[in-house]
Structure 1
């Protein structure tokens, strides 16, 4: 009698779930009969869990966004300067967008955010900075722009940042790159020749 009930339950589960069901019945005394039912959905859920485990966490989205086919540092700088004319002093891929710092002709600072997949301007804001004189002094006589530095450093890997180093006697552009394997490196780009050399402080 209880075996008939088990079969009826399994059949109903298959019809309601829209898939197939596998029933395992252990027959003994009527009071000891047990059944285990597994549906296609159970198997699919386990497969998805295993797939998630293989994929792991994706903590390299920013770098992937700047990979071939995405917007490079040089392109982000070009887009930012088209929106806010001036001198680009830094560009960094941060929090899912390029952030480009621009020193306008009026010595006001602006941060322009660029979408890493389309190159569109996501927004811009005025910053309260007072080091315009130092930056202009560091760039006096320079022939290599931030965009040029980004292009030069791209030969070393995917450029994820460019910044002007105006401290001390070794003024120049600092560029950060990430190789396809995830290794991060820092480089110095000469303000006049665009030659790229390893950063002395890079471990």
Structure 2
């Protein structure tokens, strides 16, 4: 009778308490009890939960870092444009007046010099870097690029039949934001690639239509999604 009472008491405690329980089996000769331990805690679930939390935290950190980089880039572009009094289109016009040819790129230096660097290719494919003051539009000098590696000829070939030049591309993209960089993108269908303080744009060589660069648009969508 005593043994049955002990077993019934232990079973009830196991059902009510859960977790780790200890059961005692008492022999007929009332010798020392034998302890059997059962651990019903699921450690794997706890480990998986901790791992998922660490991954989520790492993803959030990476997203925050990407947003910070984008914000810094945007602020830097805005500072460059604010310091420039001469637009990209005007800098290109000044460079071509000094060094006749075909403008294939224009970039506003970010080294504090406040100068536009306009890349001009002559009919024979020779490549020149023309520096134009972003303060007053004065040409500061022109230098032939000895390391063009036929880039000039390739640029002229890509622009064959084009109706929109670099100056017109800069003007088209200026409606989207102040222009800081104009470049000929011949990776795939040739187009003008124009960077503004508000994003990057592709300008069609024939129509002059400006559309937001796909990579820039995807990045903007990702940022907007993160903000939701």
Query: 1:118 and 2:136 equivalent?
Result: yes
**Greater C-alpha Rg:** 2
Query: Which residue in 2 is equivalent to 1:186?
Result: 200
Structure 2 Cα separation of the partners of residues 84 and 110 of structure 1: 8
Deviations 1:119-176 (A, max 9, x none): 00112111020222321221011000000000000000100010000122x2100000
Distance in 2 of aligned mates of 1:83 and 1:133:
20
What is residue 172 of structure 1 aligned with on the other side?
191
Cα distance, 1:61 vs structure 2: 4.2
**1:197 corresponds to which residue?**
211
1:102-117, aligned counterparts within 5 Å? 102-117=120-135
CA contact (8 A) 2:120 2:128 kept: yes
Runs of 4+, deviation exceeding 4 Å: 58-61
| Structure 2 Cα separation of the partners of residues 138 and 153 of structure 1 | 20
Question: In the alignment, does 2:100 pair up with 1:85?
Answer: yes
- Residue 173 of structure 2 aligns to a residue whose secondary structure is helix
Match of 1:151 among 171, 191, 198: 171
Q: Is the helix fraction higher in 1 or 2? A: 2
Which structure carries more strand by proportion? 1
User: What is the count of residue pairs matched by the alignment?
Assistant: 137
- Residues 24-43 of structure 1 mapped to structure 2, 5 A cutoff: none
User: Does the aligned pair in 2 maintain the 1:65–1:71 contact within 8 Å?
Assistant: no
Q: How far is 1:62 from its partner?
A: 2.1
For 1:83-103, what per-residue CA distance to the aligned partner results, in whole angstroms no more than 9, with x for missing partners?
100000000101321000000
Under a length normalisation based on structure 2, what TM-score does the superposition of the two structures give?
0.58
Structure 1 distance, partners of 2:124, 2:83, is 33
Structure 1 unmatched ranges of 5 or more = 1-57, 179-183
Give the conservation status (yes or no) of the 8 Å contact 2:124–2:153: no
Q: Is residue 140 of structure 1 aligned with residue 160 of structure 2?
A: yes
Q: Is the 8 A contact 1:134 1:166 kept in 2?
A: no
Q: What RMSD over aligned residues (CA atoms) do the two structures have, in Å?
A: 1.5
Work out the CA distance in 2 between the residues paired with 1:137 and 1:106: 12
Distance 1:91 1:136 in 2: 16
Q: Distance in 2 between matches of 1:98 and 1:121?
A: 9
Distance (Å, rounded) in 2 between the aligned partners of 1:132 and 1:172: 16
